Structure 1
Amino acid sequence: MSKAEFISNVAAAGDMSNAEAKRMVELVFGEIEAGLKRAKKDGKYTIGTFGTFTITKRPARKGRNPRTGEEIKIKASKSLRFRPSSNLKAAAGIK
């Protein structure tokens, strides 16, 4: 689903214009981004009955180039993960 489709669905469900829905969606996404920036200490940002966003750290490691078999160094990195709440899983029909 594209962002435009998502905004259209929110507008239809909320009985509002696309402009209002876009503003609401941008506010929600902006708050998630700001929450993740604030959550640098423990790396978690939880939204009640929706789920938890977690920033994980991957250490540097060695890997292999699949084409040549040559050993390469992979830099340390950060990754973003999402774990849905039990309410969200139940709404999606997942146990």
Structure 2
Amino acid sequence: MRKPELASAIADETGLTREKASEIITAFTDQVSAAAARGDDVTLIGFGTFNVRKREARSGRNPQTGAPIQIAASRTVGFKAGKALKDAVK
């Protein structure tokens, strides 16, 4: 499901227009992004938690040449599904 399809489904369920539903989705993703940039977790009870994860620096190999390379430390966003979401997928 892509954003337009999600906006349409939300609009159908809530009675909002597709444009308003799309604005809400954009506002949600903007807020999750801003929280992640600050290093904060976003927890939606029953759905899941978006959190910032730290990756240590490590060595790797260039897949084309096989030459060793150094991979820098970085931060990434992870998602851990909540119980209700896990149960819905079963």
The aligned amino acid for 2:30 is G
CA distance in 2, matches of 1:16, 1:53: 26
What percent identity do the matched residue pairs reach?
Answer: 34
5+ residue gaps, structure 2, are none
1:2 corresponding residue in structure 2:
2
TM-score normalised to structure 1 length = 0.80
Count of aligned pairs: 90
**Shift >4 Å, 4+ stretches:** none
Helix, strand or coil at the partner of 2:52 = strand
**Root mean square deviation, CA, Å:** 1.7
TM-score normalised to structure 2 length = 0.83
The answer as to 2:63 corresponding to 1:85 is no
Q: Which range moves more in the overlay, 25-34 or 13-22?
A: 25-34
Q: How far did residue 49 of structure 1 move?
A: 1.8
5+ residue gaps, structure 1, are none
The aligned amino acid for 1:24 is I
